[in-house]
Structure 1
Amino acid sequence: MKHYRFLLLDADGTLLDFDQDMLHAFQATFETCFARQRPYAPELLDTYERCNDRWWKKLERGECEKSQLFTGRFRDFLAETGLSGDPEQINETYFKNLGQGGALLPGALELVRDLSEQYELYIVTNGNAATQKTRLERSGLLNYVNSYFVSEDAGAAKPDVRYFDYVFSRIPGFAKEEALLIGDSLTSDMLGAQNAGIDAVWYCPQGGEVPEGLSIPYRAGSFGEIRRLLLQQP
């Protein structure tokens, strides 16, 4: 592996356990906004995730704005479940609850701590700025990274090259040839790295195939493999 100076680390699904944070946030939001209308059931989370994923895909394709995503996912959720409420108010409640998260994937903090001894680390994440800030603070990751960049602050989201231009312009001494992005998403992280002209490691603990037209220099199925790539550990 070539020498890198800057590591750009995705947050959700790579370091943060978004599924756990989302579950707790959704359940708390349901209790506040919908408990008087019907009892909670697991399939309601499935419906929300489907609506949420659909809107994030739209955002990644440049088909909507972030504000439309935040309310659109709950508007669709209400339509599909027959529940009633104000999508904007529900979204505000959800973000408040999500901000109480910050759960880490097992071994993530130790990995970031060890990487910080050899590299400059920057977290690159899509999402709501205030929510991501509190989750990152609660996780302990900010003790080991140089800085972090949230798509809402940038005015664009991964994989949009404008997001990466925003990031690159704020890293002192940045050089693309010395940068490596590590992330789990093919559509935001890997495509974003390709769009921005930097190398990437696809973190893929579940495996998977790389789509045609997407070039990924490295892949790792575990934090142990990332260590072997970047820390020369056996």
Structure 2
Amino acid sequence: MYFDLDGTLCTYDRSFEEQFATTVSPYGEPTDAAYDAYVDRLFGALESCESEPYRRAFEAVAETAELDVAPVTLASDHCETELEALVVSANATRVLERVAETNPIGILTNGDGSQQRAKLERHGLGELVEEVLVSNDVGAGKPDPEIFDLAKERLPADEHVYVGDSYDEDIVGARSAGFRTIYVVENETGANDTDAADAVVSAVGELLDPTGLPSQIATPFEPAER
């Protein structure tokens, strides 16, 4: 069983714009133009699986704002700011603990490898999983079938399940690669499309009560017999 990370197992107690301002404010004015440059370059670097995406993003910031600091320092500062803003609910941890009792678990996520692993370690999730696949490490990101196929190779099984919060990247991508899928969407009734999902929940913690799940994917979430 594989889980997405951001938006599925973890959230943030500050918006990305607030995190950016926290990073930049000690060195200069966090303008809208600087933030836009940061977002555009960061997501471009992540989408193309470039190395050091945070450094590249702050190099773009340096071209739009006068900041008394090197981009590499801003990148380091911002990664720590992001980790400090990270929130993992007790229920999300319990879901992983329960599934790990009977099934191997992996993390399959887009992002920067070192930063995504730091998120897992910060909240003690790394010890619960057997595999971690990050787009920038493997050179392919969701919804590319390559990363899903690699995930199946890393944890061989008769059937694979993927839990994620992005419909196109996570649910459609995983379903196309042969996974059963669980769509985590904050407002189930407001979801525009759920056809590719075998189940829909409003938070990953709902998986602690598998009675509402289809039988073919409920088993991993049921308490192990003692």
Normalised by the length of structure 2, the TM-score is: 0.73
Who is 1:183 aligned against?
A: 164
The verdict on how the C-alpha distance between 1:132 and 1:69 changes in structure 2, with shifts beyond 3 A counting, is closer
Query: Aligned partners of 1:132, 1:21: CA distance in 2, in Å?
Result: 18
Q: CA deviation at 1:122?
A: 0.8
Query: Aligned partners of 1:110, 1:21: CA distance in 2, in Å?
Result: 25
Secondary structure in 1 matching 2:107: strand
| Equivalent runs, 1:28-177 vs 2, <5 Å | 28-32=22-26, 34=27, 37-38=28-29, 48=35, 52=39, 56=43, 64-67=48-51, 70=54, 74=58, 83-85=65-67, 90-99=74-83, 102-171=86-155, 173-175=156-158
Native 8 Å contact 2:49 2:139 kept in 1: no
Choose from 198, 207, 212 the match for 1:217.
198
- Letter of the structure 2 residue corresponding to residue 174 of structure 1: A
Q: CA deviation at 1:193?
A: 0.5
Who is 2:183 aligned against?
A: 202
Secondary structure in 2 matching 1:174: coil
Q: CA deviation at 1:70?
A: 4.6
Q: Provide Cα deviations, 1:133-153, integer angstroms capped at 9, x if missing partner.
A: 111111111222222211111
Native 8 Å contact 1:193 1:200 kept in 2: yes
Secondary structure in 1 matching 2:95: helix
The verdict on how the C-alpha distance between 1:111 and 1:225 changes in structure 2, with shifts beyond 3 A counting, is same
Q: CA RMSD in A?
A: 3.6
- Letter of the structure 2 residue corresponding to residue 198 of structure 1: F
Q: Provide Cα deviations, 1:166-225, integer angstroms capped at 9, x if missing partner.
A: 222222x334xx11100111132112202312110001123332448x522211123453
Query: Aligned partners of 2:151, 2:8: CA distance in 1, in Å?
Result: 19
The verdict on how the C-alpha distance between 1:96 and 1:150 changes in structure 2, with shifts beyond 3 A counting, is same
Q: CA deviation at 1:108?
A: 1.2
Secondary structure in 2 matching 1:169: helix
Aligned residue pairs, count: 211
The verdict on how the C-alpha distance between 1:150 and 1:22 changes in structure 2, with shifts beyond 3 A counting, is same
Secondary structure in 1 matching 2:186: coil
Query: Aligned partners of 2:175, 2:15: CA distance in 1, in Å?
Result: 29
Identity in percent: 24
The verdict on how the C-alpha distance between 1:59 and 1:181 changes in structure 2, with shifts beyond 3 A counting, is farther
Native 8 Å contact 1:109 1:141 kept in 2: yes
- Segments of 5+ residues of structure 1 without an aligned counterpart are 1-6
- Segments of 5+ residues of structure 2 without an aligned counterpart are none
Secondary structure in 1 matching 2:25: helix
